[in-house]
Structure 1
Amino acid sequence: MKNCKTPIIPHKPTFVGKKTTLDHQAICVFAATGFFLDEDTYYKEQKTLKPAHEYHIENDVVVTATPYFKWHYNPVERPLSQIVQEFAILFETIIKEGIGDKKVILPLSGGLDSRTQAAALYHLGNKVQAYSYAFEGGHDETYYSKKIAQACGFSFQDWKVPKGYLWNKIEQLAVINGCYSEFTHPRQMAFIERYAQMGEVFNLGHWGDVLFDDMGVPDDLPLEDQVKVISKKIIKKGGMELAKSLWKSWKLDGNFNDYLNKRIENLLKEINIPNNANAQIRAFKSLYWAPRWTSTNLSVFESQRPVSLPYYDNRLCEFICTVPEKYLAGRQIQIEYLKMRMPALAKITWQEHRPFNLYHYQWDKRPWNLPYKIVDKLKRTMSSQLLIQRNWELQFVGDSNDSNMKQWLFDHPAFSKFIDAEVVSDFYHKFTQGNSVHYSHPVSMLLTLSLFTKQNL
């Protein structure tokens, strides 16, 4: 008998059951969204353990599964200043426990999550090696990260994600993440050989933007509309079209769209937070999106050094359930924490609201942001260089990338048996000869499924 207790937000999956029969319905959901839903895997007999459960497992079979935490919304009214103080104590305690006195590797961006971590690490006095990366030929995303590191006195490295880095690392990535995520998202894979020399433990800022914000819906949004909101959030461009094509080619019963909506509806009903739609959607994302999408490529970091994930901590999840929604909306807690703990970081431009910082980001609306937007558009219009904005542009565009992609899509017999060649050809041609932005996700998913067949079939 094996006992197992899963975190409220697991950072890696625990699989039980045998790899026997392919689960085509689950794979269609994966094709549409880029992640497997709930307990699903590639196989009907194999499942992942649910978050926030205590399990007894015997001979690779679950004997009992008992939940120990359920997402809820029971706000305790108190001033925002008090909530910020509570957050500061809890967040810094979690970080200190997670890293001890080790040298920290800190990925930085121009947003709030890693900036909040930087303030906490500065306050705790840890030695930090920070870094950031930008696309080759893209916006300089390292600009604000460097300013944050300089304000904290952290060592800093800035890197460029090179064109076509994926192809000589794609099989290594397939082993690391088990083909449970499409391959164009984990940019960290481009620098995997550098991490071990940088420090002893990663401090990663994943999921702070979900926990510390609202979901942008009315609190009284009906269940039917919540299903629509979630469906819109999780289905990628071209994903529904690919899923429907696979559903049809595999001759599955019913309609894929109805199947997915019903599953989302049932999972929302299980969460059952009747008094706040924002809290319910946040819970859905934390139960199903975080462990099966966000967590999947954390394995790249963990293959090199241990990871500490303060926003995943059980105590922070429990804390969120007690915070009134009005204070979660608009990232207020992190903003006020940064103003309190390290004003120098609050004065650095918030990339999402550039050129404004945390003291006047509210001005990021007409007419105050018009001068910046006009100048920025003129710069982009006058530039002769095509601006790289998305990771797939580095991996799929150009003759060399196309040659590598075609090899994986068309030159593997096992993949041709798994996915109808007409489906693969159809989406490849729609990507190369039609709307590449819309069809980049389907092509990336087909590439992932091709690697899966090489690894498993």
Structure 2
Amino acid sequence: MKNITTPIIPVQPDFVETTKNKTINHKAICLFAATGFFWETDTYWENKKTLYPATSNEIDEHHRLVSSYPYFKWNYTPKKNYSFEEALEDFTGLFETIIDEQIGDQQAILPISGGLDSRTQAVALKHLGKKVTAYSYSFSGGYAESAIAQQIAKACDFEFQEFFIPKGYLWNVIEDLAEINQCYSEFTHPRQMAVLPEFEKMEGVFSLGHWGDVLFDVGAPEHYTEKDLVQLVKKKVIKKGGLALGTTLWNDWNLEGDFETYLEERIQRLLNKIDIDHVGAKMRAFKSLFWAPRWTSTNLSVFEKAHPITLPYYDNRMCKFICKVPEEYLANRKLQIAYIQKRNPAVANITWEDQRPFNLNNYHYNKMPYNLAFKLGRKFRAGIQKIQQKKFIQRNWELQFVGEENERHLEGYLFNQKFAEFLPSATTKKFYDKFKEKDDVFYSHPVSMLLTLSVWNKKFNDA
């Protein structure tokens, strides 16, 4: 017997087998196609499951699950008479303790964006006196995404590197990426794969800011009721074109019933497992249980390929702390903003990407008439770009799917005999044609999912 205790938010899945009968789980793949991640304990196979988060498990010599019981359940039990100042003090102590323990005497490798999660980490690392190498990405031919990150690094006296994601990088690394994430995520999202050789030249451990934006913000709009949650989950998780692709695969494989009905019933069953009355806290728990481990965590293995990873927001203590904090303190990122303002006013004064051109001290003015000049300037620049016929790259799939060379590689994966045996080539052609001729933004997700399924079918489908 072997005992496995899973974290509250697992970084990597632990797989177990239920039987020796290897059968493809077509329903799970339809959900994957629609949303980009596998749900709950699902995998590509009926007889292979992942262990549930926050559980203690006994596994036998055949790697089958013998017993499982939870040691933690998401809850909403805010402390009574708990002031915001007390919550801020508790967060400050906990967050800095976690980062101090995770990094120790090692060099921290910190990806910085223009948002708040990595900025909060930067402030803590600076306060703790850690050695830090910071970096950020920009798309080749795209906007200068690294400008804000560079300002944050400079304010904290960190070394800084800017990486450019080149056009068509995916085709040189797609087979390696498939081995790393086992095709449990579509391939256009982990752009860190493009600079993996550069990561390997660095020294230290990654300090990654994943999931801070979910834990430290409102879980659902205040006016939402329990009945609204199914539709909210659908809105959040279904990608553009995803419902159409999931429905088409469902029909191609002659599965019983209706895909959208199955999806809604599955969401409702998962929500029913969460014993929380507060709608916002329940939504946060849903995301942390079923989204974080199977979507956010999947490509963390790319970072791990270069160096060990640490995730302060994933820490069990942070998850437990969140359950004790009143929702009003989490809403609108109040705790993180107050922490940055207290610890490093200079960083608080740097532009907040989501509230451009405002910062953490004045973002409340991001409304008319205060942001009128910025909006007019943005429209003017967009007009100039249109006149010049200059298109900025904003999405990773544009670098990988657009252009003759990219199309040649993409079509090589989408239209081959082995994939046609798994999925009707007419389906693949229908979505690919719509991507090319009708709406590339809307149908980029279906094409990306079809590419992922083709690579999985080639490398792992020996059924």
* Shorter-chain TM-score range: over 0.9
Specify which of 234, 239, 242 is matched with residue 236 of structure 1.
Answer: 239
Counterpart check, 1:73 vs 2:64: no
Q: Give the secondary-structure state (helix, strand or coil) at the position aligned to 2:306.
A: coil
Aligned-pair CA distance for 1:19: 7.5
**Aligned counterpart, 1:380:** 382
The C-alpha deviation readout for 1:387-436, integer Å capped at 9, x for no partner, is 1111111111111111110000002x221111111100100101011111
Give the letter aligned to residue 399 of structure 1. Answer: E
| Aligned position for 2:39 | 37
Are residues 1:118 and 2:122 paired?
Answer: yes
Matched position secondary structure for 1:132: strand
Q: Distance in 2 between matches of 1:19 and 1:314?
A: 36
Instruction: Find the aligned partners of 2:132 and 2:263 in 1 and give their Cα distance.
Output: 44
Deviations 1:289-309 (A, max 9, x none): 100000000010001100000
Summarize the alignment of residues 30-109 of structure 1 with structure 2, pairs less than 5 Å apart.
30-58=32-60, 59-76=62-79, 77-109=81-113
1: CA distance, partners of 2:214 / 2:21:
33
Select between 422-431 and 209-218 the one with higher mean Cα deviation. Answer: 209-218
Residue number in structure 1 paired with 2:395: 390
1:45 Cα shift? 0.5
Q: What percent identity do the matched residue pairs reach?
A: 54
- What residue in structure 2 maps to residue 3 of structure 1? 3
Structure-2 separation of matches of 1:80 and 1:365: 26
Could you say what secondary structure the match of 1:280 adopts? helix
The residue aligned with 1:406 is: 411
> Aligned residue for 2:355?
353
1:25 alignment counterpart: 27
Distance (whole Å) between structure 2 residues aligned to residue 262 and residue 224 of structure 1? 13
Provide the rounded CA distance (Å) in 2 between the counterparts of 1:217 and 1:350.
Answer: 22
Q: Is the 8 A contact 1:130 1:157 kept in 2?
A: yes
User: 1:232-288 deviations in whole A, cap 9, x for unaligned?
Assistant: 1000000000001000000000000010110110110100211x1000000000001
1:312 partnered with 2:317: no
Structure 1 segments unaligned to the other structure (5+ residues): none
TM-score (norm 2): 0.97
Matched residue of 1:373: which SS? helix
The residue number in structure 2 matching 1:247 is 250
* 1:341-387, Cα deviation, whole Å (9 max, x unpaired): 11110000001101101000011111111110110121122022201
Q: For 2:182, which of 178, 183, 187 is the aligned residue?
A: 178
Amino acid in the other structure paired with 1:388? I
- Within the alignment, does 1:261 sit opposite 2:279 as a pair? no
Give me the CA root mean square deviation.
0.9
CA distance in 2, matches of 1:191, 1:356: 31
Counterpart pick for 1:169 among 168, 173, 176? 173
CA–CA distance in structure 1, aligned partners of residues 366 and 225 of structure 2:
31
Residues of 2 paired with 1:391 and 1:168: CA distance?
15
Offset from partner CA, 1:144-198 (integer Å, 9 cap, x none): 0000000000000001111111011000000000000000100111100111221
CA distance in 1, matches of 2:66, 2:365: 56
Give the residue type in structure 2 aligned to 1:406. E
Where does structure 2 lack aligned partners over 5 or more consecutive residues? none
The partner residue of 1:362 within 343, 361, 364 is 364
2:219–2:282 contact (8 Å) kept in structure 1: no
CA distance in 2, matches of 1:110, 1:222: 33
The count of residues paired between Structure 1 and Structure 2 equals 454
| Counterparts of 2:275 and 2:261, CA distance in 1 | 21
